[in-house]
Structures are given as structure tokens and as C-alpha cells.
Amino acid sequence: MCLGFNPISGTSQRVEREPPVQDLTIAVVGATGAVGAEFLRIVETRYSNLPKLKLLASSRSAGKTITVGEQDLIVEEATEKSFDDVDVVFISASSAVSQQMAPAAVAAGAVVIDDGSAFRMDETVPLVVPEINGADVEWHQGIISIPNCSTTPLVMAAFPLHHVNPIKRIVADTYQSVSGAGGGEMAALREQSERLLDADSNTSKSEKGQIAYNVVPQIDRFLDTGYTFEEQKMRQESQKILHAPEIQISATCVRVPVYISHAASVHIEFTRPMVVEEARELLAAMPGMTVLDNPDGGEYPMPWDAAGEDDVFVGRIRQDISHPNGLVMWLVSDNLRKGAALNSLQIAEELVSRGRLKPKYTSGGTS
């Protein structure tokens, strides 16, 4: 099903279709990681017939068996020669791996959808959230990037509002789960939580890298501005996706002891006042957004509830009492799904539906 948002009428158009992604051969670089595993889980449930999958990872993981549907697939070592028979390559690995593997995949005739930061701000590479700027896939030159997992829910909420009432400024404070740093950090949270359960915080200081029972106001390296690279990414990526470099954006990104789902407290300043009811209606009409906003009934988005869900959830929508043109809201989304794996598959679907991605080979031979 493809959903399109009309910012003029505030309605969505729904066109029933199942893009033939199952006809493609898809390589997954980083198949054994947290995002790669989520990608495979989504593929299992999203398509009635599974596409042909080629699972790739580092030499440490080569030889492992992963079951997808009823298929037992052997993980191969990712090399620059892995992509000759592949239509689309999903990469969720380090920037160094992306920079090495993506050009090789493009040279082999594949389209690359990259989950890392290596190409996001490259002017020749589209940075895409299909519900917002799906048309940008038209000008790709072999590589398409997806945004950082903290950027995606922010732009999903900003997009329908910005088209009706131009946004001037956004201040976002994020509460990001450990899965955003990979499976290793998830294991670390579990180990630390058990080991430090009875520790006395009055007599001991936090350990280096401690996330259990802690909150860490740093994600990625610090820059000369005092912001972290994660915070800079949110600003630059949001402006690029929204085609709105004029929007001023400031973020503070914080790691919290939650396994899955990122949350954000977002303050938006508009060109003119916007009432809560209008914002709620626009957000409810936005494909991929779910409004959960009944504070009196204890109904608002929380990480536990968003985990495993495809939508971005928004609640606690209210007037900003510090600014007449401001609104405040609370966002939560599964960072492994819409923040990464699902968005990548939706880009592939967008490419297929626009005729920009076709299988190299069909049952009858070369396509």
C-alpha cells in the first residue's frame, strides 16, 4: 500500500498495491547486527513471497546460519566482489564499510541504500524518508541514504505542519535507546543492570561507559561548537530532507537505559500561531504517524509500547506557553524499524513503484 499526504487538504490518498520487491535480489551488509536482524524480521512479515536474500557480514560472522521464513541462509563475508548478482544493497555497518562497499556495489549495477552517515550530506546523494521526499529517489546516482534514527521521527512530525504553517525554529531533546549504538550496547545494559542492581550510588561513582541506572548526555563525538556530531546530524539532515535550510534547529541528544525506541521532546516555533486541534488533525492525517494524545487518561507514547511498531507516535501536543507561535510535543518511535530497517525497505518500494529499480534477472533470464 502506498500512502501520499496532501498538505493542502490535510488528507492522505491511499493506492492499493504491493510493489514487487519480492522479485529483487537483496544483499544485506551487516545482516548479523541489530538493524540487519530487524530488516530480516520485517521482510518475513511484509511480503507474501520473500525476495532472494544474500546475507553479508564481517569475516567474524561468516558461516553463521540465519533462518528467514523457512529458508536457512548462510552468512557470507562481505567483499567488494559480493554484488554482481544483486539488485539492491542495504548497508548497516560502519562508515568505513559503507565507503568501501557502496562504490563497489554501484559499479556492479546495484542500488545502495545506506543506513550510515558516510553519504548523507553528499550533495549527489538523496537523503530520503519516503512519506516526505520520496521523489528525491529520482535523482540518485547509485546511492541513497537514510537519515539518523533520531532525525526520522522529527521530520515525520515537522513535515505536515511545515507545509501549512512554515516552521522557523525547532528545539529537540532526545532520549535515545541503547540499540541505537548496536547489539553490543544492548548486551552491556543487561550486564550492567544485573551487576549494579545492589550498588550504592551514594558511595560509588558511575563507571566509564555506564548506561545502567544512568543517563549520558553524549552521543557521538563532541565538535568545536559544543554540540555532538549526533546533534549536528539532526540539524543538517532535517534541513536536507525537508528542503528547508532556513529552519533553525538545535538538539541535545541523550542516551538512556532503554533497549529499543527513541523519544524526543520537541518545541516548534511557527511563522504564525497554530492551535493544538489543527496540529493534531494534520499529524493524524500524515502516513506513518499515530497520534496518541490523551494525557488525562494516561495515554501518551512510551518506548516500551512503540517497540516493534512501524509508526512514529506523537502525544502531549500542547501550546508552548513561552512563545505565542509555538507548540510542544512528545515523539516516540522504534529506532530499529522506522528509524532504520523499515525506512530502507520503503525506499526500495519507492524505487520499484517509480520504475527506478528492476531485477537484473528474472525466471526467464535477463530483464
Residue of 2, 140, 162, 262 marked active site: 262
Rounded distance, CA 2 to CA 333, Å?
20
Contacts of 234 (CB under 8 A, 6+ apart): 148, 150, 151, 154, 172, 174, 249, 251, 253
Rounded distance, CA 218 to CA 116, Å?
18
Contacts of 6 (CB under 8 A, 6+ apart): 12, 13
| Among candidate residues 69, 92, 65, 87, the one with its CA nearest the CA of residue 78 | 92
Rounded distance, CA 230 to CA 243, Å?
20
Rounded distance, CA 231 to CA 254, Å?
10
Residue of 2, 140, 149, 162 marked active site: 149
Contacts of 222 (CB under 8 A, 6+ apart): 228, 229
> Three-state SS for 237?
helix
Catalytic site residue 262? yes
Catalytic site residue 149? yes
| Among candidate residues 267, 278, 285, the one with its CA nearest the CA of residue 164 | 278
Which amino acid, one-letter code, is at 57? A
Residues catalogued as catalytic: 149, 262
